[in-house]
Amino acid sequence: MFAPDTVVSLDRHDPLKRKRDEFLLPSDTIYMDGNSLGALPKQAKDRIAKVVEQQWGNDLIHSWNKHHWIDLPLKVGDKIAALIGAEKGQVIACDSTSVNLFKVLASALKVNSQRHVVLSQRDNFPTDLYMVQGMSEFLGDEACQLKSVSEELLLESLDESVAVLMLTQVNFRSGRLHDMQLLTRRAHEKGVLVVWDLAHSAGALEISLDKCEVDFAVGCGYKYLNGGPGAPAFIYAAKRHHPYMTQPLSGWMGHARPFEFEHDYHAGEAMLRFLAGTPNILSLVVLDAALEVFSQVDMAELRTKSLGLTELFINCVDSTPSLSDFELLSPRNKLERGSQVAYSHPDAFAISQALIAHKVVVDFRAPNIIRFGFTPLYLSYQDVWSASQVLIKIVEEQLYREPKYNARSKVT
């Protein structure tokens, strides 16, 4: 398929075009699901093979010191800090986003213990809401109670009962981007602490946690950070909270002196106290190597390209009469958009399966949403244009009506 000249020219002037070579991707596939599972950076593949063979295989337990395994959670945390507008020493990589949410929610509720409401958005990612529900079940309503409201009601719901405002910066369904600075400021004006979930924004756009005076944040290692399936997630806690913050998963690795094997728990220095058990070294190694891809990347350029890609796709759909049944769920205003575009369609499931069969990898979210993810590091404008042409063919020729595109698997 030959793209129009404008698309060719956009690729020619793309400052990130060489980044694609740093990833292993099947050459016949247009991968638009980096918002669910990032692609494999070549460096990560090489590094993990060496670490397994030489460090684990040969140096065995000495590697904790010899190869600095013990320092990986903070080392990787500092690399992530550079991508999310945080000074060093405020981010640690560990556990999953869900577990980390529990830790930071507990920390924030403890700081604001005169209050008990955790305010969030009804259509937040379910795990975020579930973790608050679990905390509430465990501590009782008088210590923790979830209040979830529609996006329009967030600001007016910030009152003196609210301890914590917990939001996801980019909505996982619609791709809508919150104004982090505004919401954080309005929360602080009411004495409310903020917890931001960066699952769909870390590595996808510019973030300024320090500048926005965010209290706590969590995020995901396997989406735009390309850390591999089940990669360690991360926690950010603003330096001003370090002296007194606590978290209840007080495992030995978060102890000030784990190898003294003392009877009583004493919380470790700053971010280290967010560790619970032994760090997942092999996964940290992969994430550490994967983050090298970002070392020469200007996040402002990355954001510009991301918006260019989403804009091109939306324009392709808009200008195709046969796609008029696709309803755009993502904001048209690019300043309110993350790095994904979602459409609803009555046959969303079958169309998403047909796209995948035609090597355009997207994902489906119940009940009727197709998500197209735009990863500026390894997608070109040509890819996006080609994906739109495949979509048009599938719809115009009704290819998605084949029965095989209607069978559901366990993971969608």
Annotation marks residue 45 as catalytic: no
Q: Of residues 111-140, which lie at the interface with ligand PLP (CB under 6 A)?
A: 125, 127-128
Residue with tokens 């996040």: 299
Residue 55 or 201 with smaller CB distance to ligand PLP: 201
Decide whether 233 or 342 has the Cβ nearer to ligand PLP. Answer: 233
Residue 274 binds ligand PLP (CB under 6 A): no
Nearer residue to ligand PLP within complex by CB, 128 or 347:
128
Minimal distance, residue 73 CB to ligand PLP, in Å: 16
Instruction: Give the interface segment with ligand PLP, choosing from 11-19, 142-150, 195-203, 309-317 (CB under 6 A).
Output: 195-203
Among 111, 223, 122, smallest CA distance to 166 is for 122
Would residue 125 show up in a list of annotated catalytic residues for this protein? yes
In whole angstroms, give the CA distance from residue 141 to residue 135. 9
**Token reading at 271:** 């971010």
How far is C-alpha 337 from the chain's CA centre? 14
CB neighbourhood size of 128 (10 A): 25
| In the complex, minimum distance from the CB of residue 327 to ligand PLP, in angstroms, rounded to a whole number | 22
Q: Determine the size of the site formed for ligand PLP (CB under 6 A).
A: 13
When asked if residue 351 is in the footprint of ligand PLP (CB under 6 A), the reply is no
Three-point CA angle 280, 139, 128, nearest 5°: 50
Name the minimum Å distance from CB 35 to ligand PLP.
8
Establish whether 197 is a catalytic residue.
yes
Closest to ligand PLP by CB, 63 or 168: 168
Residue 278 backbone class (left: φ over 0; alpha: ψ -120 to 50; beta: rest): beta
Quick check: 276 binds ligand PLP (CB under 6 A)? Answer: no
Site for ligand PLP in 204-223 (CB under 6 A): 220
Q: Which of 125, 343, 374, 400 is catalytic?
A: 125
Instruction: Give the whole-angstrom CA distance, residue 308 versus residue 304.
Output: 6
Examine residue 225 and tell whether it contacts ligand PLP (CB under 6 A): no
Nearer residue to ligand PLP within complex by CB, 175 or 385: 175
Q: How far apart are CA 278 and CA 72, in angstroms?
A: 11
Please tell me whether residue 352 binds ligand PLP under the rule CB under 6 A: no
Which CB, 145 or 283, lies closer to ligand PLP? 283
Q: Which residues contact 78 (CB under 8 A, 6 or more apart)?
A: 88, 89, 91
Q: Least separation, in Å, of the C-beta of 219 and ligand PLP? A: 8
Marked catalytic residue, from 102, 172, 222, 378: 222
Please, which of residues 74-113 interact with ligand PLP by CB under 6 A?
96-98
Output b/e per residue, 212-239; b: 16+ Cβ within 10 A. Answer: bbbbbbbbbbbbbbbbbeebbbbbbbbe
State the nearest-atom distance from the C-beta of 398 to ligand PLP, in Å: 33
Active-site option among 95, 365, 371, 372: 371
- Residues annotated as catalytic are 125, 197, 222-223, 371
Q: Which residues bind ligand PLP (CB under 6 A)?
A: 96-98, 125, 127-128, 168, 172, 197, 199-200, 220, 233
